[in-house]
Chain A
Amino acid sequence: MARARATLPALLLALPAVLVFGVFAWWPLVRGLVLAGQESRAGADPRWVGLDNVTYVLADPLVATAALNTLAYTGLALVVGFPLPVVLAVVLTELRRTRSLATTLVYLPVVMPPAVAVLLWRTLLDPADSGVLNTLLARVGVEPQPWLASTTTALPAVVVAATWASAGSAVVVYVAALSSVRTELYEAAELDGAGVLARVRHVTLPHLRGVLLVMLLLQLIGTAQAFTEPFLLTRGGPQRSTTTLLMVIREYAVVRGDLGAAAALGALLALSLVAVSVAYWRLTRRWGSA
């Protein structure tokens, strides 16, 4: 009886979520799959074309370029951006009175709106001799570099700027995780004669293992969908060397007005990420449950 009376209020209270998620998440999910199989251009009625969009997208050389760029971006971001926060967190945890100040400094770039940070980096990386970074390098005798204007340095420069903007949030997660290390383990390791590095290897890192595995996957999924940094830093150039898949999706939709192709590429990228996540989860499940 009490249950029956409580049902109506519960339904009413669930309504905002059901409406908002229904219209802006559940329905678009279904619609995205349908859209991927339709020829849908702005202003025209959609027409069912099956897998035509998929084959069209996969045959587009621009997509191949962007896929390689995105892979390079993700890989480079893992090499540069994944270990750095771990090292920073371990070091910050050792600090006493200055820890909160240091954490504040580390996190500061994260609160900068990416658009501001990126446009600031564009100025710092100005390819002219008078660019800030180039002036700095000139002091130590390094030739001025074209940075964002060269196909070899543009992508790494974008990765560095993006890492600068995001490393702080990972550091905060690791520092929080490190605060729960069981201190007896350090003591025991110390009694066994383990030096600082051995303690990092045998106590700190195993303790972080679960968090590290999750963060690695989150970073992978995040960087595979990189957009704002490369878009505002380089507009995808020079010569498409920093064009990512999400930029191509936007170009299909906004510039070419080909929504079917945009949805198909979006679905393909999303499906690959889900596949990667599932594979990753299965691979790491055994040693992730520490």
Chain B
Amino acid sequence: MNLLGRATGSRPRASEQRTLRSPVARRRRGGRAAGAALAAAVLAVLAVVSLGPLLWLAKASVSTTQDLLREPLALWPSGARWDNLAQAWGQGQVGRHLATTAAVAGGSLVVTLVVAVTAAYVIAVLRPRWAPLLTGGLVATLLVPGVALLVPRYLTVADIPLLGLDLRDSYWAVWLPAGADAFVVLVLARYFAGLPREIFEAARVDGAGPFRVLLQVVLPLSGPGLTVVSLLTVVAAWKDFLWPSLVLLDPSLQPVAVALPRLLEPLPLAEQMAALFLAALVPVLLFVLLQRHFFAAAGASGGTSR
């Protein structure tokens, strides 16, 4: 059951790969037409189902509310209302909440990377005698459904053991628990374990200690692994709703996902759609620019609900 290996392993290019239909069947004249028809049909359906709602949202964000109510299916608004976007950004406060979302995601990323890089390095490279214990502790948390942790984790955040700190209504309440993601540690450990050990040995012989090996040998070689882990973390933080809605009650701290339902309420329909459009824009643009890495991350996460 090796989802990770499959997702990151090299594979033949789409155009050369033999699939259900043989290359001969594909090249035959009927086969070529059938292939083209299939492609056109699939793309058409996907365009409507997948892209359709997004395109509708884009259009709605620059329409008037009357347009949306009278003719929701019109292909074009009766004149672009760029005001909607400006209103949603400023008055609707979407801009401010996008900034808090970036703060939530950025801090989660830093904490997760510190935890995952150090732990994965211990597990996969240093391999002390007690490493299996650490790995076991991490795997144990993967086997527990998230719902079991929800309430006790909330109580822990409200009253940190020994220190007695209340982290609620501070970003730390989201940042620190985000670091307790065993999946990310294991993905990175797997990546580190795949690096050639001779390089570590050589560095060690040259007198480099464990910290220097990590900073000057392991990290520079781990670009792709770190990218996958970073995307998993940032996307999860950007999408999360339940946890931040529990621990960030101060509206000025809430990420856009949590604040949106409240932000939409006072706005006219067209501006509501503009607010949704703005909130979707950053992740969609990130995805369009970094597609390959997104797919690697999706493969690594095995389609779990992150």
Contacts and interface: CB of A to CB of B under 8 A. Distances in A.
Interface of A: 3, 6-7, 9-11, 13-18, 20-21, 23-29, 31-32, 35, 85, 90-117, 119-121, 123-124, 130-132, 135-136, 139, 164, 166, 168-170, 172-173, 176-181, 183, 186-187, 190, 196, 199-200, 204, 210-211, 214-215, 218, 221-222, 224-225, 227-228, 231-232, 245-246, 249-250, 253-254, 259, 262-263, 266-267, 269-271, 273-274, 277, 288
19 contacts: A17-B118, A20-B180, A21-B115, A21-B182, A23-B176, A24-B153, A107-B287, A113-B256, A114-B257, A130-B70, A169-B304, A176-B11, A180-B11, A221-B145, A227-B241, A227-B242, A228-B241, A266-B151, A274-B143
B23 to A, nearest CB: 10
A120 B61 CA distance: 11
B11 A179 contact: yes
Interface stretch (B2-10, B81-89, B219-227): B2-10
Contacts of B72: 130-132, 135
Interface in B265-306: 269, 272-273, 276, 279-280, 283-284, 286-288, 291, 294-295, 298-299, 301-305
Contacts of B128: 3, 6-7, 10-11
Contact of A186 (B22, B53, B144): B22
The CB with the most chain A CB atoms within 10 A, among B69, B129, B276, is that of B276
A180 B147 contact: no
B32 to A, nearest CB: 10
A211 B150 CA distance: 28
A21 B43 contact: no
The 9 closest A-B pairs by CB, nearest first: A270-B148, A17-B119, A183-B18, A28-B152, A32-B152, A115-B257, A222-B305, A179-B11, A9-B210
B146 interface: yes
B39 interface: yes
Nearest to B302: A173
A112 B126 contact: no
A223 to B, nearest CB: 8
A225 B146 contact: yes
Nearest to A259: B151
A116 B260 contact: yes
Contacts of A14: 118-119, 122, 134
B191 interface: no
Contacts of B214: 13
Contact of A13 (B185, B210, B246, B283): B210
Contact of A119 (B22, B35, B138, B261): B261
Given A23-B176, A110-B298, A116 B279 contact: yes
B161 interface: yes
A273 B144 CA distance: 9
Which secondary structure dominates chain A's binding surface? helix
A259 B261 CA distance: 26
B49 interface: yes
Given A25-B182, A135-B72, A196-B21, 5 more contacts: A107-B295, A117-B53, A186-B19, A211-B3, A224-B145
B211 interface: yes
B132 interface: no
Which secondary structure dominates chain B's binding surface? helix
A245 to B, nearest CB: 8
B75 interface: no
Contacts of B46: 102, 105-106
Contacts of B260: 115-116, 119
B156 interface: yes
Given A17-B115, A172-B298, A218-B302, A111 B283 contact: yes
Contacts of A15: 118
B228 interface: no
B137 interface: yes
Given A21-B137, A106-B50, A135-B73, A28 B118 contact: no
A115 B70 CA distance: 26
B148 A249 contact: no
Interface in B19-74: 19-22, 26, 35, 38-39, 42-43, 46-47, 49-51, 53-54, 56-57, 60, 69-70, 72-73
